[in-house]
Structure 1
Amino acid sequence: MTVSSGVLGHAGARRRVLVITGDPIAPAMAGPGIRACELARVLSATMDVRVASLASVEPVDFPFEIVVAHRTKLIRHVDWADVLVVQGFVLALNPWLAKTNKVIVADLYDPMHFEHLEDARSLELRAATREVDQTLAALTGQLRRADFFICASEKQRDMWLGHLAAVGRINPFTYAADDTLRNLIDVVPFGISDEKMSPTAHGIKGVIDGISANDKVVLWGGGVYNWFDPLTLIRAMAKIATKRNRDTTSGKREPNARLFFLGVAHPNPDVAALDMVTRARALSDELGLTGTTVFFNETWVPYAERANYLADADLGVSTHLEHLETAFSFRTRILDYLWAGLPVVSTAGDAFADIIESSGAGIVVPEREVDALSDALETLLFTKAGTVAAQASHKLSTSFLWSTVAKPLVDFCESATPAADRAVRRRAIPSRFVAPSWLAGKIRGARAAWQQGGVTGIARRFSGK
């Protein structure tokens, strides 16, 4: 296998960037595919960009070349590029990439090992450990090899800095190059389209049987993964429905709240059916809400059509449980809510909860609290507080435009500089502790003081008396 060096050697000054994702690129895409394409869109303004999917490609409208590249077909595209941007298991599935001299950016926006801790809860502990270990090995491989890293938040960055330190990447070489380490790892959160939302048709109101143009729609704008909590939300919707029905005394039909799950069938066929989807359906059926108050969209909405659904929503919701995955997550669905200028109700505990609360873009509630959640939903759906929160949501959206948040990645790719420790990064991290000279001297001194005077001798030596 022969791949050219990572040194810019082609005619012209424009960098060549290859963004590689393991997800399908298609009209209906999940987060990894969306992120790959939107980052590529920003990079393509000043660089030559290709997106390569290791899965499949269907026709989509983006201003750059998109290719499907299985195994050896990937070599030609890697050979073309100066910089590789990888995510997920790309490097683990193609270990030969790590042996090239290409400048590699690892996108760590998704702490996969924490997600897999949640996914593996139903497994026997040894099987769960094997699954999480494989994920951790894939992440560690990226952390050892890549020249630059991006993640979704400052809290994530702190976590990844710890991991980088553990594998020897925070060392005299990288520290001398930049003592803030921003040239090693920086924050590039998920973003919002720079284009104004322009719906072309109704997606929910008057289209879905049981949801009228007069109803208030609560939108669950993404997948129902195992680390989310749709169950408390469904119970809160049941409480609201009971109250609204009881309070309606006139013959006039009053607006009611309807919960719409935007997609329960994942667009990536390699993603297995999730237990939480089954549990959410079962609870909704048990409470008699399915098709009247709670609605499940059985398909995944095409990325280009999501505006039609967002425009029909009155509120965006994200409920989850407080655990490790939550603490380091970055709920990308909330960005679509901001793009649409929707008020947001979210569970506390993740990075976005603080942003929502401090900006006034919505209400944050404790986990598993049905009463608090139903009160928050009613407040934003049926009072003027919803209008105020919607205005704050729209204002907040300008901080997350893709063209803004991607700047650290753009800056790095334009320079395409190998990491400062590239020449020494393959050195072995010592498995046995050997005291450095300054510490060895203190240890010898302490030993001598102990022999001469025991505890008193040590105390005298280190107190200077």
Structure 2
Amino acid sequence: MSTAAATLAGVRTVVVSTEQPGTRMAGPAIRAVHLAGALQAAGADVRLAVPAPPDTDLGVPTTAFGPFSPESFRRLSRGTDVVVTQPLRVDVARGLHGAGARIVYDLYVPSFVEYPAAHGGEQRSPAARDALIARNQLEYATALSCGDAFICASDRQRDHWLGALGEAGRIYPLDDRPGAGVGPPVSVVPFGLSDEPPSPAAVPVLRGVLVPADSVILLWTGGLWNWFDPATLLRGLRLAADADPRIRLVVMGAGHASDDWSEHRAAADAMRLADELGLLADGHLVVAARWVPFEQRSAFLLESDIGVCAYYDSDETRLSFRTRYLDHLWAGLPTLSTDGGSLTEQMVTAGAAATLPAGDGQAWADALVALAADAARRQEMADAARRLAQDFRWSVATAPLVELLAGLDAVPHGRAPGAITTARYYALAARNRLDAMRSRA
């Protein structure tokens, strides 16, 4: 056995996927599968905990925990050394913490800024929406107060979470020596990409099928969430397509990988705007599917010319780690996007991406027309993307997690959520259920 494989030998580890992994997966489930695979490669005795049995082989042993409950997660934690999970319902977290395992929280999703946007535009009263957001905030606050250790996706996120841990009273000086402040470890574990190169499809899936063979294909990889700004891109696309009819946009995911998720307002608004602009009628916008299966995405990436994504100048953007861009790097796909976000900045520095001001449709139009006409520049950006991709291979990205788990014995134990916090959470959850019943009445 190699040194790397022996690092976590015998460590009983559970990685929780709060979203269902399988043939269709979004970011959190993809990440959980690959974290579990990396820990297994490092010698750990790993189980991937999933809501229900997956519909495909995920490459790691799985266990279905069924309904989210304190008891189901207490059973999951019992007889386990380490559990890696995203923040959970407070009552569920109390069950998880009550069985003696070390708990590592994955904070790569800045849910506290995503969650308000995700519920924007719903038919709820302001008070009902505030109560729903308060419940999510309490879940994250509980994770910060109780976790043994934490991981996140970027140095910028780490700075944020260190500040949050300080506010939670979990970073304190042991003595007056420089650097003597101590608290739970926060390791940067970026989202990663496959160590294996993408494979083309046996037959085209885009060219000559969904769009004309001579198209310059723009690809929107992933969902249309409320914190994105597809409207600005669509306005720019209309102008660009009028100037160069070869330019066409393919959207890979107009829904979500899970059928249980409701459509975000941004998706419906984008389709209405596209219809008003005539982009659907003339074929300059094509929705490939509600969600392209995970193993089929490489064919879409390899047939495309430019990856695109537009979003707002917001706190979400600043703290984001645009995981969809890892697929761009993996496939050597040049990227045009709104400015902002740590991964975006890395890609621009490397020459793999170019950025535009938030909300500027004319800037999008100009950039699309220019890049569509410049095959040499697209090739330069593609080469830069492939070089940068080497830094984000899952085998590289997960090394800090292996190191973190190997050193957990030296980390003080966290604590289980208290009865008062849990009672407060139950009260918020009851309020949410009552509000939901009223909205349906």
Decide: shared fold, TM above 0.5: yes
Name the counterpart of 1:274: 264
* 1:288 lines up with 2:278 in the alignment: yes
Equivalent pair of 1:341/1:390 in contact (CA under 8 Å): yes
SS at match of 2:46: strand
Name the counterpart of 1:408: 400
Deviation at 1:13, TM superposition (A): 4.2
* 1:241 lines up with 2:233 in the alignment: no
Counterparts of 1:129 and 1:415 in 2: how far apart (Å)?
A: 39
Name the counterpart of 1:48: 45
* 1:205 lines up with 2:195 in the alignment: no
Equivalent pair of 1:150/1:185 in contact (CA under 8 Å): yes
What CA deviation, in whole Å up to 9, does each residue of 1:362-385 have, x standing for no partner? 211001111211222223222021
| More displaced 10-residue stretch of structure 1: 341-350 or 292-301 | 292-301
Name the counterpart of 2:437: none
* 1:185 lines up with 2:182 in the alignment: no
Counterparts of 2:381 and 2:290 in 1: how far apart (Å)?
A: 30
What CA deviation, in whole Å up to 9, does each residue of 1:277-334 have, x standing for no partner? 1111001111111151001133211111111111111111111011111111111111
* 1:336 lines up with 2:333 in the alignment: no
SS at match of 1:197: coil
Equivalent pair of 2:224/2:266 in contact (CA under 8 Å): yes
Distance 1:176 1:186, change over 3 A: farther
* 1:37 lines up with 2:36 in the alignment: no
Distance 1:80 1:100, change over 3 A: closer
Counterparts of 1:116 and 1:423 in 2: how far apart (Å)?
A: 26
SS at match of 1:81: coil
Aligned partner letter, 1:161: L
Distance 1:295 1:48, change over 3 A: same
Q: 1:302 aligns with which of 280, 293, 309?
A: 293
Equivalent pair of 2:22/2:58 in contact (CA under 8 Å): no
Equivalent pair of 1:37/1:51 in contact (CA under 8 Å): yes
Counterparts of 1:217 and 1:365 in 2: how far apart (Å)?
A: 19
Aligned partner letter, 1:206: G
Which structure has more relative contact order (CA 8 Å, sep 6+)? It is 2
Distance 1:37 1:150, change over 3 A: same
Equivalent pair of 1:103/1:417 in contact (CA under 8 Å): no
Max Rg structure: 1
Aligned partner letter, 2:77: V
Aligned residue-pair number: 403
SS at match of 1:281: helix
Aligned partner letter, 1:241: A
Distance 1:316 1:79, change over 3 A: same
Structure 1 residue ranges (4+ consecutive) displaced by more than 6 angstroms after TM superposition: 174-178, 423-426
SS at match of 1:44: helix
Name the counterpart of 2:424: none
Equivalent pair of 2:173/2:182 in contact (CA under 8 Å): no
Q: 1:66 aligns with which of 62, 73, 89?
A: 62
Equivalent pair of 1:44/1:63 in contact (CA under 8 Å): no
| More displaced 10-residue stretch of structure 1: 124-133 or 147-156 | 124-133
Counterparts of 2:293 and 2:300 in 1: how far apart (Å)?
A: 11
Distance 1:180 1:357, change over 3 A: farther
Distance 1:125 1:25, change over 3 A: same
| More displaced 10-residue stretch of structure 1: 156-165 or 197-206 | 197-206
| More displaced 10-residue stretch of structure 1: 199-208 or 262-271 | 199-208
TM-score, scaled relative to structure 2: 0.85
Counterparts of 1:181 and 1:243 in 2: how far apart (Å)?
A: 58
SS at match of 2:254: coil
Equivalent pair of 2:21/2:54 in contact (CA under 8 Å): yes
Equivalent pair of 1:175/1:181 in contact (CA under 8 Å): no
Counterparts of 2:397 and 2:181 in 1: how far apart (Å)?
A: 19
Distance 1:313 1:125, change over 3 A: same
Equivalent pair of 2:73/2:96 in contact (CA under 8 Å): no
Deviation at 1:175, TM superposition (A): 10
| More displaced 10-residue stretch of structure 1: 258-267 or 218-227 | 258-267
Q: How much identity, in percent, do the aligned residues show?
A: 33
Distance 1:91 1:401, change over 3 A: farther
Name the counterpart of 1:220: 220
Name the counterpart of 1:6: none
Counterparts of 1:178 and 1:190 in 2: how far apart (Å)?
A: 29
Distance 1:176 1:66, change over 3 A: farther
Distance 1:238 1:425, change over 3 A: closer
Unpaired stretches in structure 1, ≥5 consecutive residues: 1-11, 246-255, 429-465
Deviation at 1:216, TM superposition (A): 1.2
Counterparts of 2:247 and 2:131 in 1: how far apart (Å)?
A: 44
Aligned partner letter, 1:214: D
Name the counterpart of 2:129: 128
Q: 1:367 aligns with which of 355, 358, 365?
A: 358
Unpaired stretches in structure 2, ≥5 consecutive residues: 1-7, 421-441
Equivalent pair of 1:21/1:88 in contact (CA under 8 Å): no
TM-score, scaled relative to structure 1: 0.81
Equivalent pair of 2:145/2:170 in contact (CA under 8 Å): yes
Name the counterpart of 1:435: none
| More displaced 10-residue stretch of structure 1: 259-268 or 295-304 | 295-304
Distance 1:57 1:264, change over 3 A: farther
Distance 1:80 1:305, change over 3 A: farther
